[in-house]
Amino acid sequence: MTELRKFKMGNGIIGIMAATSEGVIGINKSIPWNYQDELEHFRLITHGHTIIMGRKTYEAIPKNIFANRRGIVFSRNPMNNEDSVVFVKSLSEYFDITKSFKKSEKIFMIGGAEIAHLFLEHKLISSFILTRINHLYSGDTYLNLNYFKGWTENILKLHPNYTIFQLTNHKEVL
Ligand SMILES: NC(=O)c1ccc[n+]([C@@H]2O[C@H](COP(=O)([O-])OP(=O)(O)OC[C@H]3O[C@@H](n4cnc5c(N)ncnc54)[C@H](OP(=O)(O)O)[C@@H]3O)[C@@H](O)[C@H]2O)c1
């Protein structure tokens, strides 16, 4: 765990995802809802920064997103690296790549559930921008919202279709 501890003293990773109150985040390799202004919020916040994701999310998102963002994609069968996208097989490889990042560089973990759970389980995320969708949707992929029990909530934006929260785990802040 020394590596994890070393990493935590450097760049903090910020989660940014959207889920229903039941934790639904995806269906059929896609997102169940389509709120353009919510996507705009994601684009604005992550613009110019690094985004971490799982291979399934990488395959689902429009590739033009990497014109203004550096991507790190987790896969046990990595594809060839591209200009702005690097594949990693493990957290250890991920730390190797990000250890040269400037401390000021922002890194966002954007999902899906497998990668979010990996980072939350290892307590590598103590700040999470979570959009809580106000309506119920069917889904096949769930974010385990139990990870956020005891975290403090600040409302960043109220919208008829969703509320954007800044969740903070003060116990994990270094
Ligand atoms: N609502 C939201 O905010 C949001 C955000 C993102 C995604 N989504 C949705 O969520 C769904 C995808 O989520 P998901 O949980 O199924 O998949 P995911 O987390 O995007 O990707 C899973 C993949 O990541 C790789 N992986 C997982 N753990 C790993 C580890 N420890 N080391 C190395 N690689 C690892 C594996 O890739 P390989 O199989 O290649 O080995 C695995 O198949 C889609 O429906 C997507 O649209 C929603």
Domain holding 50: CATH number? 3.40.430.10
Residues in the ligand 1 pocket, defined by CB under 6 Å:
17-19, 25-26, 29-31, 53-57, 60, 74-77, 89-90, 110-115, 118, 141
CA 158, 161, 162: angle at the middle one, nearest 5?
50
Is residue 1 over pLDDT 70?
Answer: no
How far apart (Å, rounded) are the C-alpha atoms in residues 78 and 101?
Answer: 22
How far apart (Å, rounded) are the C-alpha atoms in residues 137 and 24?
Answer: 7
Give percent of the chain with pLDDT exceeding 90: 84
The pTM assigned to this predicted structure is 0.94
Report the pLDDT averaged over residues 122-140: 97
What's the one-letter identity of residue 75?
A: S
Gyration radius from the chain CA atoms: 15
Any domain includes 9: no
Give percent of the chain with pLDDT exceeding 70: 92
**Per-residue confidence (pLDDT) for residue 104, from 0 to 100:** 85
Q: Which two tokens stand for residue 3?
A: 């590596």
The phi, psi pair for 107, rounded to 5°, reads: -120, 125
Any domain includes 146: yes
Report the pLDDT averaged over residues 150-167: 97
Residue showing tokens 């590596």: 3
Which atom, in ligand 1's list, is nearest to the CA of 139? Answer: 45
Distance 1 CA to ligand 1 centre (A): 23
- The total domain count for the chain is 1
Any domain includes 174: no
Any domain includes 26: yes
Any domain includes 133: yes
**Per-residue confidence (pLDDT) for residue 27, from 0 to 100:** 98
Q: What mean pLDDT value characterizes the chain?
A: 92
Any domain includes 173: no
Q: How many Cα neighbours within 13 Å face the side chain of 133?
A: 23
Q: Which two tokens stand for residue 158?
A: 């109220």
How far apart (Å, rounded) are the C-alpha atoms in residues 15 and 116?
Answer: 8
Distance 73 CA to ligand 1 centre (A): 9
pLDDT tens digits, 42-99: 999 999 999 999 999 999 999 999 999 999 999 999 888 888 999 999 999 999 999 9
- Domain that residue 40 falls in: 22-164
Any domain includes 51: yes
Any domain includes 8: no
Which atom, in ligand 1's list, is nearest to the CA of 16? Answer: 3
Is residue 9 over pLDDT 70?
Answer: no
